[in-house]
Structure 1
C-alpha cells in the first residue's frame, strides 16, 4: 500500500488523520443482496473491515451513515436502455436489509437511495452539514459503482474524502484498480482499514 498512499508515510510528524467532530463514516450497500463474486477483496473481508470502522466511529461518538438501496416496486429505480445485459440482482428475501455484521445501532443514520450515489434524492448532505462534517470516510460495495459515484458527489459538494481501500471491493479486480489508481487519488486520500484504525 505504501506506493498508493503518496506522501503520508514520510517521517515528519503529522496531525491526526481524523477530527472525530468533523468526520463521518459512509458505508455503501452492505446489504443482503451482495454475492460472493467480488475482487480483489472478498465480501466477507469488506464487511469485516467496514464493521471495524463502524464500531470505531461509534465508540468515538462520530457520525455513522449506513446506505442501502431499497424499493417497494422498482418504479423509482433508474431503468436505462443499454447495449449490454447487466448482472441480475440477488433479490433474496430481505435483500435490502443491512448485513448483520454491521450491527446497526440507534445512533446510525440510515440512507435509502434509489441509484448508485448516496447524495442524490437523500438527506445525506443536509445531515452532514447540520453536524459541521467536512470529511467523509468511504467504504462498501462496489468500488467502481456505489462508492465511486458517492465519492464524486461528495467531492463536488466540497467534502474531504478518505478511502478505506480494503473495506471496499469491485465486481472485478480491474474495476477496483481503476478507481483506486486513477480516480480516488485525484479527489481524496487512500488508507487501509488498519491505518484508519491507527489514525495515520
Structure 2
C-alpha cells in the first residue's frame, strides 16, 4: 500500500544509525546512503516541528540485564571499539531530538519510547534504519501492535542479508503499514501540515 497520509501527530523513528552498524556492509544500500536519506527525513521533520527519535542499541552493563534466552547463534564476545554505539555525527547534536537506548531488537520493549510518543500525541511513526529484518521490523511489529499508524521509508533502510531485507519489504511491512520512499514521505509531510 503506498503512503497516503502523514498524520499531524507523526514522529520519525530512526533505528540503530550508530557508528558500528552504519559502517558494516549492508544491502541494497550502503550505510552512507541510509544516513543521507535519514538525515533528509530528519531535517524535514525538524523543519515541520515533528519529533525525531534516534534509537541506539548498546550492551547492558550488567549481563543480568541483557537479552535472556538460549540461542543457536553465538553472541559477539569481544570488546567493542570505543564509540561503537554512538549515533552517527550526521544525525546527532540536535537538542530537540529524543534519544532512546535499547538492549533488544525492537525499540519499544524495555524503553520509554511508547511513553515519549504518547505524551506528544503521536499517532503515526515513520521508520527507517539498519537492519531492516531485525531492529526496523521488530519496531514496526511492536508499533503496529500498540496501535500506531506505521509508515516505512523503504529506501532509507538496509540489511546485512539481501533475502531477509526483501522478505521484510515485500511480505512483512505491507501487513504492518504503508511503504514509500523517503522523498515521497517528505512531500506528504510538507503537504499535510
Note the residue ranges of structure 2 that are not aligned, 5 or more in a row: none
- Residue 58 in structure 1 maps to residue 46 in structure 2: yes
Q: Cα RMSD (Å) of the superposition?
A: 2.0
Check 1:58–1:90 CA distance in 2 against 1; reply closer, same or farther (3 A cut): farther
- Contact map agreement 2:17 2:88 (CA 8 A) in 1: yes
1:11 maps to which residue? none
TM superposition score normalised by structure 2? 0.89
CA distance in 2, matches of 1:155, 1:115: 17
Q: How do residues 148-187 of structure 1 correspond to structure 2 at under 5 angstroms?
A: 148-187=137-176
CA distance in 2, matches of 1:111, 1:30: 12
Match of 2:27 among 39, 44, 51: 39
Q: How do residues 61-72 of structure 1 correspond to structure 2 at under 5 angstroms?
A: 61-71=49-59
Note the residue ranges of structure 1 that are not aligned, 5 or more in a row: 1-5, 9-13
CA distance in 2, matches of 1:149, 1:142: 10
1:97 maps to which residue? 86
Using CA pairs under 8 Å that are at least 6 residues apart, name the structure with larger relative contact order, 1 or 2. 2
- Contact map agreement 1:138 1:163 (CA 8 A) in 2: yes
**SS of the counterpart of 2:183?**
helix
- Contact map agreement 2:16 2:130 (CA 8 A) in 1: yes
CA distance in 2, matches of 1:158, 1:91: 36
- Contact map agreement 1:134 1:159 (CA 8 A) in 2: yes
Check 1:174–1:89 CA distance in 2 against 1; reply closer, same or farther (3 A cut): farther
Where do 4+ consecutive residues of structure 1 move more than 3 Å?
84-90
